[in-house]
A and B are shown apart, each in its own frame.
Chain A
């Protein structure tokens, strides 16, 4: 909760600065694909996205807020699971499903190139909501939790026409979240992601 308050404070402070500034703003929507780096699910997710807002204080510095999400769905064939002292065992196949939704305050450093490309590096810090579900036969085990999330990223804005406000947004990054689930032995949630999107910059 304390983390959320800090994030909220950063965002509100940023908003005040934004209100006083007369520089550029960008609103974007992207398709985000994620490649998990964990044991619970390993299959990539193509059912993800991101919406974001950025405020450019100058050509180089920008802050923003973004909300992303992804859906991981994976079938795991029959397998026997044992508890630590090997007194219990259970055999079943299952469908594993994970939904994740990181909400971050973002900080960007933009490189000025003088052409249509505006590459940048960025870091998003915030909170991630996630739900983990395992379906087997007619049963389901599920849990949901919040964690701290860090999203370092690189990307570029591409101006489609010299005078147009439309931007193509290409980005790639890493998502590290502290969401835990003891039942499924999840200590954290990590994934690479790439995205392609469209933005409007005034």
Chain B
């Protein structure tokens, strides 16, 4: 090599040729991604009452997990949903009254990562309640789907069904879906806090959902 400039150029090229760098993910928050999905034709002001059970359906691929979340964790989350529904002008009714809107909460814990499922895969999942409820049997009908299909770690889905028009429609139409997705903490308290924040955000980004 006659000219040291060649060496310099080779060295600089080597350094610069790391080319594609990696994004800095240090600032990303652990807050759940909140997605909401509404039925375009639904008239949200046409409903007056709602009902939500005080338990949360739980789908997990951990065989030791139960199929229901009960007690204080469920109560905290359900109360937050009720608070939002009340603030939007709807009235809670207890069984055996038939509500205009039926809400159901489903929590999903997926221990494995990188597994993709088709939309609605969790419907009919072993242990998941069927479509026959105390107000009648109707086939579930989903004009809308959760927007994130890749269940990797944790999801919380809040479904809102139109019971009022179920007989006329001859199906139980989901008019609003809220889905919270993201990494789960090992601490239950943290997961509940994230879920509560996510529920509030779901209502905040759905101003049309009101009496």
Complexed CA–CA distance, A74 and B62 (Å): 37
Q: Which of A169-202 contact B (CB under 8 A)?
A: 198, 200
CB atoms of B19 and A69 under 8 A apart: yes
Stretch of A56-64, A117-125, A136-144 contacting B (4+ beta carbons < 8 Å): A136-144
B84 shortest CB reach to chain A, Å: 15
Complexed CA–CA distance, A138 and B31 (Å): 10
Complexed CA–CA distance, A181 and B178 (Å): 27
Q: CB of A108 within 8 A of chain B?
A: no
Q: CB of B72 within 8 A of chain A?
A: no
B179: nearest residue on chain A (CB-CB)? Answer: A90
CB atoms of B35 and A88 under 8 A apart: yes
CB neighbours (8 Å) of A27 from chain B are 9
A80: nearest residue on chain B (CB-CB)? Answer: B205
> Known: A69-B19, A73-B24. Contact between A137 and B37, CB under 8 A?
no
B172 shortest CB reach to chain A, Å: 19
A32: nearest residue on chain B (CB-CB)? Answer: B16
Complexed CA–CA distance, A185 and B28 (Å): 22
Complexed CA–CA distance, A136 and B31 (Å): 10
Q: CB of B23 within 8 A of chain A?
A: yes
Number of interface residues of A (CB under 8 A): 38
Count A/B pairs, Cβ under 8 Å: 107
Q: Mark B171-211, 1 if CB is under 8 A from A, else 0.
A: 00000000001110000000000000000010001100000
Q: CB of A101 within 8 A of chain B?
A: yes
A51 shortest CB reach to chain B, Å: 6
A88: nearest residue on chain B (CB-CB)? Answer: B37
A202: nearest residue on chain B (CB-CB)? Answer: B3
Q: Mark B98-117, 1 if CB is under 8 A from A, else 0.
A: 00000000000000010000
CB neighbours (8 Å) of A137 from chain B are 28-33, 181-183
Q: Which of A73, A93, A166 contacts B28 (CB 8 A)?
A: A93
> Known: A71-B20, A75-B27, A87-B38. Contact between A139 and B152, CB under 8 A?
yes
Q: Which of B13, B23, B30 contacts A73 (CB 8 A)?
A: B23
Q: CB of B163 within 8 A of chain A?
A: no
Q: CB of B153 within 8 A of chain A?
A: yes
B145 shortest CB reach to chain A, Å: 10
CB atoms of B16 and A31 under 8 A apart: yes
Q: Which of B5-29 contact A (CB under 8 A)?
A: 5-6, 8-9, 12-13, 16-17, 19-21, 23-25, 27-29
Q: Which of A1-48 contact B (CB under 8 A)?
A: 27-29, 31, 47
Complexed CA–CA distance, A73 and B152 (Å): 25
Q: Give A contacts to B, CB under 8 Å.
A: 27-29, 31, 47, 49, 51, 69, 71, 73, 75, 78, 80, 85, 87-97, 99, 101, 131, 133, 135-139, 165-166, 198, 200
A selection of 27 A-B contacts at a CB cut-off of 8 Å is A27-B9, A28-B9, A29-B12, A49-B17, A49-B19, A51-B16, A73-B24, A75-B28, A87-B39, A88-B35, A89-B36, A90-B34, A90-B35, A91-B33, A91-B34, A92-B34, A93-B28, A95-B23, A99-B20, A135-B28, A137-B31, A139-B148, A139-B181, A165-B5, A198-B8, A200-B3, A200-B9
Q: List the 7 shortest-distance A-B pairs measured between CB atoms, nearest first.
A: A49-B16, A97-B23, A137-B182, A90-B35, A92-B33, A71-B21, A75-B27
6 extra interchain contacts, Cβ-Cβ under 8 A, other than A93-B28, A138-B113?
Answer: A75-B27, A78-B31, A89-B35, A90-B147, A97-B23, A137-B181
Q: Give B contacts to A, CB under 8 Å.
A: 3, 5-6, 8-9, 12-13, 16-17, 19-21, 23-25, 27-40, 113, 144, 147-148, 150, 152-153, 181-183, 201, 205-206
